[in-house]
Structure 1
Amino acid sequence: MTLINPQKVMPLWLGIVLICTFNVAHANTPVADYFKDTWSTQEGLPHNSINAIAQTSDGYLWFATWEGVARYNGRDFRFFERSAKTGILDSGIRTLISDDNNGLWVAGARGGITYHQDDHWQPQPAARGMVNHLLKDRSGNVWVAVEGLGVFYRPKPSIDVDSTEEVWVLKNLSVYRLLEDTKGQIWAATDNGLFKLNRDNTQEVLAQYGLSKLHIYSILETQNTGLLVATNRGAYTIKDDKISLLHPSLAGEAITTLMEDDEKDLWLGTVSKGVMRFDKGHIETLNTQSGLPNNRVLSILQDLEGSIWIGTNGGLMRLRKAPFTTWTKKRALVGDYVRSVIDVDAESVLVGSSEGLSLIRNNTAHEARLNSGSPISVLSFAKRREGGIWVGTYLNGLMLWKDNQLSHYLNYVSGLPSDEVRAILEDSHNNLWIGTTNGLVQKTASGQQRLFTRDDGLPDNYIMALTEDDQGQIWVGTGVGVAKLTSNGFEIVPINSQEGAEYAFGFWVEPGYVWIATDRGLIRYSQEDGQLGLVGRRSGLPIDKLFQVIYDGTNGLWLTSNRGIWRVDYHAAHAVADGRQNKIAFEHFSESDGLASAQANGGSNPAAVAMDNGKLWFATAKGVAMVNSSTISQKNTAHLPITIESISADGHVLLANKKNVLPAGTNRVVFNYAGLGYVMSSRIEYRTRLVGFESTWASRGKNTIAEYTNLAPGQYQFLVSARYPYSDWNSADQIYEITILPHFWQRLEVQIGVALLILIILAGSLRWRFKQLQKNELRLQALVEKQTYDLRQQSEDFQRQANEDELTGLPNRRAFDLWLSEGFVQAKQQQTSLILVIMDIDHFKKINDHYSHLVGDQAIKSLAAQLQLIASQQVHVARWGGEEFTLVIEGVDDINIAAHCDNIRQSIETFDYSNIATDFKMTVSMGVAFAHSVESYQGLLRLADQALYRAKKQGRNRVEIWQE
């Protein structure tokens, strides 16, 4: 038996721990490298104290607060509060416990206990005080920890046992946590020690170790260390009948909550020091100084995607492993504005910034100069064959870094035309090429120097990039074009033939080809025939200006830009350059992927480098970023759980069952769905298919609503699939069936009977006609004409229904598509103005939730009535679907469209809606795009939708006009 006195241990070890613990390189990702997201009441939480966190097996995340329980789908929170339906007696929720059956136990203030499963609430008998924790053991008994009263359990219901019976096993204590260990033993963490609970006998455990009356907040059974106990004086492990401090530095620390992640690291929440991660004897701390909303930690959870969620008194934080790791001044980099990076050896890189040189080795950055003097603004690098790195600077010419010393080599005084060196190359013949802003200098192995300028055939004197191809030719990139040095002198490479490209920022050479990063995309030069191919906007890239291209050694080309880092498939890039493929898929990486800044730097070289170990390094405006290309392909392969959050038919909400039977005459069916992925939830894309109505998948983009109108009677299957951008679609595992019943006259047997009856009548009429041909000729003719008229009317009615929205009377999406396609072609042919506006009611879901779906429908009709007033031959109004409307405006000047649309927006905002509901207000967001910006009306739709998305992202109730 081992006795621990934390008051004696801490002074001895604390100094050693502070020196050693926090400076050891860990095998796991350092806490500082996790990407952090935070939420508070400003982002939709009902309260900032997150008492508990749980994730149900369907993928939903749940958060317990003092204002109810919040369910999160990655985009927004849905609240569940005190009500008879939920069984929540008070909004103060203390604990959430999920099970393997997609169930969730919810308990808290006033003893309320309820069980939620598959959208059904099952209220349980209340306890006599606030419930701090709850446990359902492997036998089916429910154990309840009650503030100030102790612990009782309710036996598993059976014929002989009443499920409301309460068997008290611990009394007159505040119990905060219950645990059933792998042996089936129940443990209780209390304000007066740790208890082992038996039905006939309870035993306080810590007294035998000399640690009686400790305040125990939490308890955890770990995979390696046995039982971990969180107390008001540190965290202790109990294993093999011995107890010890988890770590000496924790002695005296108040630990509130415990969690073990999938890498067997321990996460400890504290009362006042934030959260700590314990990894193989080492501790890292995350607190308010590093972004934690509050230092009092109440709950910790690792979700199914591996992210760590931390609930505090001041809000919620999520830690996730981003693909990129960035070094900045906060991680000891000399300067944040990085212009160039180069690999020194297999384990280290040299980083050049506006403030000097940094060396990163084994994930640690430090000053690369032992002879540190005045700051050197670094522009470019190149490897020196005799050892060391050539360093091009902004004001000091060419320098040499070797043995951690930086020395001067060439400058303006000693023969350079300029001290600003943006590109360096030491070729296969030991010639040193120095690209300056005033010409290109060649220094031969024998020491002779020669200056090349425009007079020697260069397109410009401002040199930005240099490389040597597989044929030994020197390539020069400038701000006015590209030249290559052949045996006949410099030869201009006509990159301006590719959509007017001029700037050549960087090169990548492979056998037979030279790739050029330009201001018009990625250009490929073929050594065989001198042909140029372009991978740019016309092939699907949303940007023009690319700074650097590098190859990751597997199958990816990485491109840097002012708007992030892009990855394209190597073989697809060749196919596009050859003309064998029109479009290219891409992955885009920005701040949400771990970059401190999405602005990558260019204009000096190398601005990115690929190492043999698969690590790629990128110079950015805020630090140097690294990604491991060997693991990046796993970024988006996680399965995305998909759930149908609601189904409504003609405004009536249905249970999200897998089968629903709808009455005859049902006109409008709406599915609201969500992909429960949290790493990049705002970028999840969807597609849907209604089998029985659609033969192919319908792309929904990021829209989470699918609406169908005018469905014929019959059986349908609704499928929804999701993916992260540019990854494979997840299979549609969930199938939801709806059956729309027919009217009496739409039933097949009735239609067959009517048809037979008509045939009999016609046959009798023919016989009678033979007998009285002359007498009935006029009557028969009138009958035929009447039937023809009726059929024509019926056809016209069907045509009107197919093109008219039932709820608003406005033209529907089918009519809108016809307008837009015809109007777009006419506008292009006649070179007239055509403008598309997509309008979306702001927070429409909140209108439905707060008022009712009936009020929501009235709001839609009211908006439709307002829009009908502005409809004319030049303005076509349609209901796009759900809460979205469209305007096709012809003949309006582009300059005046912003004011025109804003007038519409203001009139909608200030309209009197008191006839709908008291104090009812409604605003809209509008996205505007011009036909002259695109080549197809589908492209016009996409631009307007992007503008609408931007309007929503920037605060809603605004008009956003699409601009490049």
Structure 2
Amino acid sequence: MLLSGLCRHRRHVYHFFCFLLCTVFFNTAAASAAKHIPSLDNYFKETLNTRSGLPHNTINAITQTPDGYMWFGTWEGVARYNGREFRIFDRNPQTGLPDVGVRTFHLDKHNVLWIGGARGGLVKVQDGQWQAFPPFGELINRLFMDNQDRLWVATEGQGLYMQDATGKRTHFTLDDGLPSLQIHSLQQDANGLLWVGTANGLVYLDAQLQIQPVAADEFNGVPIFALELNHQAALLVGTERGLYLAQPSQSKPLTLLDNVPVSAILQENSDILWIGTIDRGLLRLHNGITESLDMRQGLPNNRILALLKDKEGNLWVGTNGGIFRLRDAPFNTMTTEVGLAGNYTRALLSHSNGCMYVGSSRGLTRICNGAFSIIDLTAVSVGQSVLSLAEGPDQTVLVGTYADGLIELQYDQIRRHYDTGNGLPANEVRAILPLGNGQMWVGTSNGVSLIKDDGILSLGVADGLPSSFVVSLFQTPDQRIFIGTGNGVAVYENEQLRTLNIAAYDDAHYAFGMTYDAPVNILWITTDRGLMAYHLASNDIQIIGRAQGMPFDKIFELVQDQQGSFWISSNRGILRLNRSHALALLAGKRSSLSVELYGESDGMISSQANGGSAKAGALHHDGSVWFATSMGVTRVQPERLQQFAEIAPPVVIEKVHVDGQALPLGSPVNLIAGSNRLEISYAGLGFVMSGRIQYRTKLVGFDRDWVARGTAITAEYTNLPPGEYRFLVSASYPDGEWSKQEAVYTFTLLPHLWQRWWFKFAIILLLTTLSIIAVRWRMSSLRHTEQRLRKLVAEQTTELQLLARQDALTGLANRRAFDEELQHEYQRAQRNNTTLCLALIDVDHFKRVNDQLSHAVGDEVLKRLAEVLKQQCRTVDMLARWGGEEFVVLLPDTSLQDASEVCERLRHKVEKLNFTDLAADLHITISIGLTTNNKLELPQLLVSADKALYNAKKLGRNRLALADNTR
């Protein structure tokens, strides 16, 4: 920025072309040549507030540190966010803050985070260490580290401070030329001038640290709330009266926004400028176009205090009502707010003219090149409730309605209309199938009709249709017509109807949609029991249902994208599965599928997709996949998911606990001998799809290879042998690359005295010496001494063996003993082809017992539980303590039903236990995960049981849950 007051210092003048480029940037005429920028409506909006874990809803400052964490400054402390949860730092010895109120952040060029706030508190955070400086005694509004490593501190009422690297402070006040002691903003330009925005105008400090005034009237006598350098290093000035761009060589600045109180500025790139206002919400300027978001569009509050674009492209907005985030989610949903006729959408048509037609309960919408047009059907349809769509000959649009029959449109004009008055069996039209010969099949709620030039042929239950309620129609390349109904599928061939017995496959009834897969000559049918594959050549049917990996029964529409994936709609979200995996499963080369479920956290306003009419999903000409939902039409661009996957989120280790005690995260640590349970929590710091981040871990010294953890954020190890270990963890988005740099935690588990080599050597040496002395002392006592020594060795060996195989607290077998028995019984079960069951038991809410009643009470509870479990288990079963509050039961030669009865008996017995002698309101329950060796290798048994246990807890605890392989 160069104003007339600054022009007197010619060595600081910018080249004139900066102004020209800035002017071009904001010129509307450039909009047509600029690259396409998505509308604000195309972003997924999300709000985080105190209900999400924030300590306060006013967000004064936002930054992202190089490790990937998001930091938020509030009046109740600093909140650090990992994409799943907040960690709060308030006034305590660790932070050194004199007050919890935090007003500003500054991340300097050395990646040091500076924090300023109430009572003049100033701290810096570097490599996880907090260092406090003497407070300034006044609220700090802004911090800025200049190019000479001098820290500038703007206060609310004491003017401006400069603190050098030694900690020496220089104070600037009214006497030095400041127009006000209330400083709002700081910025340094490319020439090294420090600009200071005050409550009464704008000034700058020259190279000699002399305060110089600015001549422009726009910047005098007015609060200057925000200063920012644009992409050409020119100065943007946000004031109470508007937003300005300083013109190089001219005294009058360029007005970008007039009469708008600007509180925050973010120059995203050469095309986009974000502006936060004091009372008018969020604005975006791009190519001369101004867009706005306020509380009417979901902004939690119209006062914007901070703006930040993170490393993945998410925009974070700090408001008085919480954090508002705009992110490029996988799915984008369109509703009546952007032009749809109605939000309850049912049918989609990707037309050959490049437009998408959307049928809803309140009318028909055409979307062409982002423009929305509502097509008027009132001439023949009172309610305009659309159920089905199809493209007819000559690019006509066929519209099936809920109560007004079938409408044929050409160039948006009604060409023909069919209803019960001219031959349709019902006015409720749920499926339309135009044929190449000009004929047309129409599926209604009262049968199916074939419209021909010479009339209408209607077929119903009496003609062989399994149900009169028709929901889908499809013609295969061999000219067969498949008719999906509410009670099965009929095939029309050679003017005859025959029925497919889909009820034989898990009692399926509804056939909601059909999609032809040409390379394999398969007709995929979506049903209320999963996905069916009808082999057209052999007429064979196979099903992919819950037993094969589908998360639920009812699915509506299948769309195959251009990347080789199936997208399937349902009442509970949109599924994605790999087509090649589905074919491999049909061929017997896979036993199950891995399915991804997308929902409201991925950009859908409602995860409830609609089915029951055709077609409820479509592949558009641009490769996007569209689905009708109960709240608008949603679309996903599959190729963009790969772009998300290419982002490898950084990963950090957040917490380490050994036997419930927290350990430091810094240098390698030594764990005391006998440390039993190690828990390591970690987080992938990605914010595009935080809940979908996948993890893998490897404990070097224990694991031979990487262990897939899925989305689990904790790894647990029990009964590790003594030794040196390195724990590694990496993260990725689904189908993406793993983090290039793993997070590492190094530790050493020290051995017991009796596990040290020198102790064993000393014992041997002692025994040998005693033997020699005994021989020399008296030959006659040799036999007695030998017996005594053998007895001593046997006792010590027995004691060591007992310690190594028995849990000290409960007296049960420990994990080592259990592992040996598990391996033995698994091999025996494999040889004899018998069923081996394994149950993993966890005490519900046991942490509350330790925290609220003491560890002594917790230990007594565990001992009593162990005794009860031991009494209730059968003699053939093996009960062991798995670690902490977890137990494990091995049930050899036991069917799943018998094992379930044993587990339920254990659960009921524990539920009835009386612990009132320990605490008046103490009530203990357990959750159980049960699995079998069905289709599982030995290493997978415990993983399967653990997943079942997790499901039992997820379903409410105090229950038995069976593993997926048992179904």
TM range (shorter): 0.7 to 0.9
Q: 2:393 aligns with which of 373, 385, 392?
A: 385
Aligned to 1:797: 803
Distance 1:86 1:40, change over 3 A: same
1:480 paired with 2:484, answer no
Asked whether the equivalents of residues 833 and 890 of structure 1 are also in contact (C-alpha less than 8 Å), the reply is yes
- The correspondence for 2:745, drawn from 736, 746, 756, is 736
**Helix, strand or coil at the partner of 2:640:** helix
- Residue aligned with 2:59, SS: coil
Give the C-alpha shift of residue 913 in structure 1. Answer: 6.8
Give distance in 2, aligned partners of 1:944 and 1:58: 34
Are residue 76 (structure 1) and residue 74 (structure 2) matched?
no
Matched, 1:780 2:778: no
Distance 1:925 1:97 in 2: 50
1:504 lines up with 2:511 in the alignment = yes
Write out per-residue CA displacement over residues 191-244 of structure 1, whole angstroms, 9 at most, x where no aligned residue.
121222125354555423554222100100011582111100011111323477
Indicate the SS of the match to 1:633: helix
Out of 234, 238, 256, which is 2:263 matched to? 256
2:623 is aligned with what amino acid? G
Q: Are the equivalent residues in 2 in contact too, given 1:842–1:922 (CA < 8 A)?
A: no
Say which of 622, 625, 640 aligns to 1:613. 622
Match of residue 17 from structure 2: none
1:431/1:758 CA distance change after superposition, 3 Å: farther
Which amino acid in structure 2 is aligned with residue 253 of structure 1?
V
Residue 371 (structure 2) aligned to one of 364, 367, 375: 364
Q: 1:426 aligns with which of 434, 441, 452?
A: 434
Query: Retained in 1: the 8 A contact 2:531–2:543?
Result: yes
Contact residue 838 and residue 948 of structure 1 kept, 8 A: no
Whether contact under 8 Å (2:99, 2:121) holds in the other structure is yes
Shift of 1:870: 5.3
CA distance in 1, matches of 2:424, 2:33: 45
* Alignment partner of 2:527 out of 497, 507, 518: 518
* Residue 307 (structure 1) aligns with: 314
Describe the shift of the 1:73–1:809 C-alpha distance in structure 2 as closer, same or farther (beyond 3 A). farther
Moved more, 471-480 or 109-118: 471-480
Letter of the 2:141 partner, please give it: N
Contact in 2 for aligned 1:50/1:313 (Cα 8 Å): yes
Answer whether contact 2:378 2:384 (CA < 8 A) is retained.
Answer: no
Deviation string, structure 1 residues 39-65 (Cα, Å, up to 9, x no partner): 222332222211111111111111111
Q: Cα 1:591–1:928, aligned 2, differ >3 Å: closer, same or farther?
A: farther
For 1:308-329, what per-residue CA distance to the aligned partner results, in whole angstroms no more than 9, with x for missing partners? 1111122222221221111222
The answer to whether the aligner puts 1:340 opposite 2:344 as a matched pair is no
TM-score (norm 1): 0.84
Contact (CA 8 Å) 2:840, 2:887: kept in 1 or not?
A: no
Letter in 2 for 1:943: A
2:296 equivalent in structure 1? 289
- 1:759-838 equivalent positions in 2, closer than 5 A: 776-777=782-783, 779-801=785-807, 838=842
1:841 counterpart residue number = 845
Distance 1:589 1:301 in 2: 27
1:267 is matched with 274
Amino acid of the structure 1 residue aligned with 2:316? W
2:394 is paired with a residue whose SS is: coil
Q: Write out per-residue CA displacement over residues 642-683 of structure 1, whole angstroms, 9 at most, x where no aligned residue.
A: 112233445553321252234455444432322222333344
1:315-354 alignment runs, 5 A limit:
315-345=322-352, 347-354=354-361
Q: Which secondary structure does the structure 1 equivalent of 2:793 belong to?
A: helix
Aligned equivalent of 1:944: 949
Taking the aligned partners of 1:684 and 1:147, their CA distance within structure 2 comes to 42
CA apart distance, 1:415: 1.3
How many Å separate the matches in 2 of 1:192 and 1:924?
66
Mapped partners of 1:192, 1:929: distance in 2 = 68
Distance in 2 (alpha carbons) for counterparts of 1:720 and 1:925: 34
Verify the 8 A CA contact 1:841 1:884 in the aligned structure 2.
no
Could you tell me which residue of structure 2 aligns to residue 135 of structure 1? 144
Q: Per the alignment, in what secondary structure is the counterpart of residue 720 of structure 2?
A: coil
Give the aligned residue type for 2:950: D
- 1:834 deviates by 10
In angstroms, what is the RMSD of aligned CA positions?
A: 4.2
Q: 2:716 aligns with which of 697, 707, 713?
A: 707
Q: Is the 8 A contact 2:215 2:251 kept in 1?
A: no
1:11 aligned residue: none
Could you tell me which residue of structure 1 aligns to residue 603 of structure 2? 594
Partner of 1:14: none
Partner of 1:627: 636
Q: Distance in 2 between matches of 1:750 and 1:893?
A: 45
Deviation digits for residues 245-298 of structure 1, max 9, x if unmatched?
7766x3222111111235742221111112212222222222222222222111
Mapped partners of 1:413, 1:529: distance in 2? 42
Change (3 A) 1:176 1:898: farther
User: 1-side partners of 2:350 and 2:470: how far apart?
Assistant: 22
| Structure 2 residue matching 1:592: 3-state secondary structure | helix
Match of 1:64?
Answer: 73
Which of 538, 544, 556 is equivalent to 2:565?
556
* 1:341–1:618 contact (8 Å) kept in structure 2: yes
Q: Secondary structure at the residue paired with 2:202?
A: strand
The equivalent of 2:699 in structure 1 is 690
- For the Cα contact (< 8 Å) 1:867–1:877, is it kept in 2? no
The number of aligned residues is 912
Q: Where does structure 1 lack aligned partners over 5 or more consecutive residues? A: 4-16, 158-162, 915-920, 952-957
Bigger shift: 256-265 or 237-246?
Answer: 237-246
Q: Is 1:465–2:472 an aligned residue pair? A: yes
Partner of 1:451: 458
Which residue of 2 is the match for residue 7 of structure 1? none
The aligned amino acid for 1:793 is E
Check the 8 A contact 2:304/2:317 in 1, yes or no.
yes
The one-letter code matched in structure 1 to 2:665 is A
2:759 and 2:908 mapped to 1: Cα distance?
Answer: 57
Separation (CA, whole Å) in 1 of partners of 2:857 and 2:296 = 46
Answer yes or no: is the 8 Å Cα contact 1:394–1:420 preserved in 2: yes
Taking structure 2 as the reference length, the TM-score comes to: 0.84
Contact 2:667–2:746 (CA under 8 A) maintained in structure 1: yes
Cα pair distance change 1:498/1:740, threshold 3 Å:
same
| Change in CA separation of 1:453 and 1:810 when aligned onto 2, cut-off 3 Å | same
Q: Secondary structure at the match of 2:786?
A: helix
Classify the secondary structure of the residue corresponding to 2:547.
Answer: helix
| Kept in 2: contact 1:346–1:611 (CA 8 A) | no
The Cα offsets for residues 443-493 of structure 1, whole Å up to 9 and x where unpaired, read as 23x334322334444433322211122222222222222233334733444
Structure 1 distance, partners of 2:157, 2:643, is 49
Of 160, 166, 169 in structure 1, the residue corresponding to residue 170 of structure 2 is: 166
Give 1:121 shift. Answer: 1.1
Aligned AA for 1:489?
Answer: Q
- 1:230 and 2:238 aligned: yes
User: After alignment, is 506-515 or 700-709 more displaced?
Assistant: 700-709
CA–CA distance in structure 1, aligned partners of residues 94 and 593 of structure 2: 51
Distance (whole Å) between structure 1 residues aligned to residue 847 and residue 795 of structure 2: 47
SS at 1:115 equivalent: strand
Tell me the alpha carbon deviations over residues 697-747 of structure 1, each in whole angstroms, 9 at most, x when there is no partner: 444454433333433332110112333456554456222211234455544
Rounded Cα–Cα distance in structure 2 between residues aligned with 1:80 and 1:632: 35
> Which residue type is aligned with residue 458 of structure 2?
L
Write the distance in 2 (CA, Å) between the matches of 1:775 and 1:859: 52
3-state SS in 1 of match to 2:340: coil
CA gap of 1:885–1:742, structure 2 versus 1, over 3 A, is: closer
**Per-residue Cα deviation, 1:410-452 (whole angstroms, up to 9, x for no partner):** 21121122222211111233321112222222223x3343223
Amino acid across the alignment from 1:873: Q
1: distance between equivalents of 2:426 and 2:361? Answer: 18
Q: Does the 8 Å CA contact 1:833/1:893 hold for their aligned counterparts?
A: no
Q: 1:134 to 1:358 in 2, by over 3 A?
A: same
User: In the aligned structure 1, how far is the partner of 2:641 from the partner of 2:666?
Assistant: 37
Q: What residue ranges of structure 2 are gaps of 5+ in the alignment? A: 5-25, 891-897
Rounded to whole Å, the distance in 1 between the matches of 2:905 and 2:342 is 46
